[in-house]
Chain A
Amino acid sequence: MTLSHDTDKLTEHLFRHESGKMVSVLTNIFGVENLETAEDVVQQTFMDAIAVWKLKGIPENPSAWLFRVAKNKAIDVIRRNKHSVRFDFSEGPRALLTSEYTLSITMDELFKDELIKDDQLKMMFACCHPGISSESQITLILKTLCAFSTAEIAKAFLTTEDTVSKRLYRAKEFFRNEKVRLEIPSVEELKNRTNSVLRAIYLLFNEGYNSTHSQEVIREDLMDEAMMLCKLLAENRYTQVPEVFALTALMCFHAARSKSRTTVEGEIILLPEQDRKKWNHPLIAEGNRYLNIAAFGDEISSYHLEAAIAFEHCSAETFDKTNWMRVLQLYEWLCRVAPSPVTELNRIIAFMQVKGPAAALKEVDLLENKKSLKSYYLYHALLGDIHSKLNNRADARSHFESAIQLTKSRAEQKVLYHKILALA
């Protein structure tokens, strides 16, 4: 009983951690157009593992066992498809897979440990191909590199499994039709392509940091995966651009605070009330190291600025001791580098800390695109806070109520209810 329970737990753990690597290596061998075949091989390998390990016990090096079985299955697939049009063996080392003289030894080469990270990186670039929509990019990343099931992806993004399956289907069709290749983009393309990978990682992390779609406010699994992927970029010499380090720093700072952001029951604790002792200080230090590395080059990206803002919060002893002037300056800079309504609203939050609620209200009035902001919950939450500080209870209440209408998150609704109750 215990043995089989252990086997289940171990295979589940290994599936999370090894299957993304295995899919990447196999996709590099079969070609992106055969991503599904790669996924099938991995699936079958894990089914074998469960069956064999239950019977014979867990091998000494389970990961090596998995890779060896996957390699043998891949050799079978290649032998079966040697003459199939589905596989393109016309180029480079792949031509050697068609000959029995070189099939096995070429597979050994392609499965070498030191190539795995490159393959994962190439896979990431393929998933974030500019021809694929950003929702589908994240869906693909979670499915192929992070071993999420369609059900898990559907849950994380509050959508149906059907929608997730359709996204995956379309993306795979795109891979086939466009003959996308698994490669590190050329030097000319690298910057743009790296930026789209970073954007997908950023979105993935944000979804974990502040789940807009899920019942839980924080999804640490999504945050962990995003950080793991970004570290792959940070470790590869082709993709060591400053933005990569800045984003890693940003994620370290945010992740460091996640334990203090909710109660045990999953309710939100706002920044002023957070117990700063619970912050993960080694992770903050790690973020700091990344932020220092990110300082090379002459471009300041939005990731640099967001990381710098997060650093200000992390390094403040208490909420009141926060250097709000510095935070405000950074937000003003961020509004110029990456203008967006959300950034504007966040800037005004910092502005209010420095100049007070009356001045902040005037700033809100000056905002452009107010029409589009009116459908955004943060706009109303901010106005609610401003009016509440100005003692305009009726206005505050009506804005908080609008905000409640506009957010899907139970936990956020609860915070807003508390704010209404505090007005009385």
Chain B
Amino acid sequence: MKEYLLLFRGGDGATVQQSPEKWQEHMQQWMQWMGKLTEQGKFIGAQPLETTGKQITGNKKVVTDGPFMEGKEFIGGYLMCKADTYDEAIEIAKGCPILQFDDGKIEVRELKSVHP
């Protein structure tokens, strides 16, 4: 089994956040989606990320504020899971509640084994 990183962009769901009931319902969906992965033993970890951030660049280690991107561009969170193929990882990602929003976007990346 391989490991995949799902990077979440957009889908902050401003409309959902306005109503506590809708927010509760939305988080329930996250729980159901992730709960299914834990039951299947495919869940590794997941965290949302703050909107703040810093960047450190090059051998001069220049620190800049950022990422100053539009909301839908920066990474809002991640989930790591196990799957056999990209297809399976994509199927998992399709269940993510972030895709209920038009601007929700998930980047699926396979973790690489550096050791030969």
Contacts and interface: CB of A to CB of B under 8 A. Distances in A.
Interface in A81-133: 91-93, 95-96, 98-102, 104-106, 109
Interface in A237-275: none
Interface residues of B, number: 16
A79 to B, nearest CB: 11
Contacts of B27: 101-102, 104-105
Contact of B31 (A92, A98, A100, A106): A106
B17 interface: no
A105 B27 CA distance: 7
A201 to B, nearest CB: 35
A112 to B, nearest CB: 13
B34 A101 contact: yes
Contact of B47 (A91, A96, A99, A109): A99
A102 B31 contact: yes
Interface residues of A, number: 14
Nearest to A108: B24
A101 B77 contact: yes
Interface string B69-90: 0000000010100000000000
B39 interface: yes
A99 B28 contact: no
Contacts of B66: none
A203 to B, nearest CB: 40
The A contact surface, by secondary structure, is helix
Contacts of B48: 100-101
A125 B28 CA distance: 31
A99 B39 contact: no
A258 to B, nearest CB: 49
Interface in A337-386: none
A102 B38 CA distance: 12
B53 interface: no
Given A92-B38, A92-B39, A93-B38, A102 B45 contact: no
B54 to A, nearest CB: 20
B39 A102 contact: no
B47 A101 contact: yes
Contacts of A98: 45
B28 A96 contact: no
A398 B21 CA distance: 78
A86 to B, nearest CB: 18
A67 B77 CA distance: 30
Contacts of A106: 31
B86 to A, nearest CB: 23
Given A101-B48, A101-B77, A102-B34, A95 B28 contact: no
A147 B104 CA distance: 50
Contacts of B79: 99, 101
Given A92-B39, A93-B38, A105-B30, A99 B46 contact: yes
Given A95-B38, A96-B38, A99-B34, A105 B47 contact: no
Contacts of A96: 31, 34-35, 38
Interface string B19-49: 0000010011011001100110001011110
Interface of B: 24, 27-28, 30-31, 34-35, 38-39, 43, 45-48, 77, 79
Given A101-B46, A101-B79, A105-B28, 15 more contacts: A91-B38, A92-B38, A96-B31, A96-B38, A98-B45, A99-B46, A99-B79, A101-B48, A102-B30, A102-B31, A102-B34, A104-B27, A105-B27, A105-B30, A105-B31
Top 5 closest pairs, chain A to chain B, by CB: A95-B38, A99-B46, A105-B27, A102-B31, A101-B30
Interface of A: 91-93, 95-96, 98-102, 104-106, 109
